[in-house]
């Protein structure tokens, strides 16, 4: 199979940023593998931890994972994975490096596309550079089964554009009312703007038990059904687990640091629901790249 050309972003003086189309019907050049976007309406709900540990849990099941830090200004996936990248997406956006040149190997064979930390100017990039970035991601998925993108928190244009890129969008919340309210606001915005491959799915994080998890999921489902007119599905729940904080301090995912912890078990259960590997030959994989795996809708 011929290798796709490596894309390097080069700033063009005097270029005018084209207006992004709201539904993005043309996907040419964008990632071709199944893409899971992990997002949230507010910070502090464990979104990045879920993205990192889900990537590890999927890799344990045999999936070849590309993990993208889509929080371009306040990245932290490198810290959660315990890796130390020399370059990041800031160097790609400035035209200094290509995507392949910034990718680093993480635990369990996960390939990380790192972003910058403490770069507020990247919190909102223009439409032209954003579209070029999304297309450049298509150059790192050649040998991947799944791409996982961890977005910034909130309802910015950058967040919603990453969500449009995904075949699957996981909205992370906790049982607290502010997180619940902001998760609903994000889901409402995504539905209003359109362009998603599937309706977003909910993940309830840091629950104190099954009853609280079920109650939180039930309440947001009722609100979505009544005011948005669609059935919101809960993809899974993750219990509150002190092991997660201990793993963060150790700069190691809880799936590997404390593999028998309740949170690690929940991440693996979510991975099992999302990833169903299918045995195929190389010829079939090249001819039907989307049929070598199945992401449950």
What does 202-220 look like in DSSP terms, one character per residue? EEEEEESSHHHHHHHHHHH
137/6 Cα distance (integer angstroms): 10
In 3D space, the residue among 162, 232, 61 whose CA is nearest the CA of residue 53 turns out to be: 61
In 3D space, the residue among 266, 255, 291 whose CA is nearest the CA of residue 53 turns out to be: 255
Half-sphere exposure of 12 (CA within 13 A, CB side): 9
Residues with pLDDT less than 50, the chain = 1-28, 280-297
In 3D space, the residue among 166, 156, 147 whose CA is nearest the CA of residue 127 turns out to be: 156
Confidence at residue 137, expressed as pLDDT on a 0 to 100 scale: 87
Q: In DSSP terms, which residues pair with 276 in a beta bridge?
A: 294
CA 145 to chain centre: 14
CA 36 to chain centre: 5
In 3D space, the residue among 49, 86, 43, 109 whose CA is nearest the CA of residue 243 turns out to be: 49
251/229 Cα distance (integer angstroms): 42
137/146 Cα distance (integer angstroms): 12
Confirm if 223 and 184 have CB atoms less than 8 A apart: yes
CB neighbours (10 Å) of residue 27? 14
53/107 Cα distance (integer angstroms): 10
Confirm if 41 and 182 have CB atoms less than 8 A apart: yes
Mention every residue, 6+ apart, whose C-beta is less than 8 A from residue 251: 79, 80, 81, 82
Q: Is the pTM of this model over 0.85?
A: no
The domains of the chain, with CATH numbers, are 35-277 (3.40.50.300)
Confidence at residue 30, expressed as pLDDT on a 0 to 100 scale: 59
Confidence at residue 31, expressed as pLDDT on a 0 to 100 scale: 66
- Tokens representing 208 are 């104190």
Mention every residue, 6+ apart, whose C-beta is less than 8 A from residue 229: none
């Amino acid at each position: 199979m011929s290798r796709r050309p490596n894309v390097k972003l080069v700033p063009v003086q005097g270029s005018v940023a084209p207006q992004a189309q709201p539904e993005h019907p043309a996907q040419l050049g964008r990632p071709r593998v199944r893409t899971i976007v992990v997002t949230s309406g507010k910070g502090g709900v464990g979104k990045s931890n879920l993205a990192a540990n889900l990537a590890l849990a999927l890799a344990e099941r045999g999936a070849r994972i590309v993990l993208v830090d889509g929080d371009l200004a306040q990245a932290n996936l490198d810290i959660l994975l315990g890796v130390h990248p020399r370059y990041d997406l800031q160097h790609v956006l400035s035209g200094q490096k290509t995507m392949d040149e910034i990718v680093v190997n993480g635990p369990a064979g996960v390939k990380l596309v790192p972003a910058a930390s403490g770069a507020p100017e990247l919190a909102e990039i223009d439409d032209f550079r954003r579209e070029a970035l999304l297309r450049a991601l298509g150059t790192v998925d050649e040998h991947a089964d799944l791409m996982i993108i961890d977005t910034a928190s909130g309802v910015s244009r950058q967040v919603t554009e990453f969500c449009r890129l995904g075949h699957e969008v996981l909205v992370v919340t906790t049982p607290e009312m502010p997180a619940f309210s902001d998760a609903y606001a994000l889901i409402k915005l995504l539905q209003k703007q359109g362009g998603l491959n599937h309706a977003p799915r909910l993940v309830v994080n840091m629950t104190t038990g099954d009853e609280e998890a079920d109650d939180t999921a039930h309440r947001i489902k009722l609100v979505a059904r009544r005011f948005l007119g669609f059935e919101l599905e809960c993809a899974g729940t993750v219990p509150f687990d002190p092991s997660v904080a201990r793993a963060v301090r150790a700069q190691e995912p809880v799936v590997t640091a404390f593999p028998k912890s309740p949170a690690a078990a929940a991440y693996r259960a979510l991975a099992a629901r999302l990833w169903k590997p299918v045995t195929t030959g190389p010829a079939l994989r090249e001819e039907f790249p989307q049929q070598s795996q199945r992401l449950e809708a």
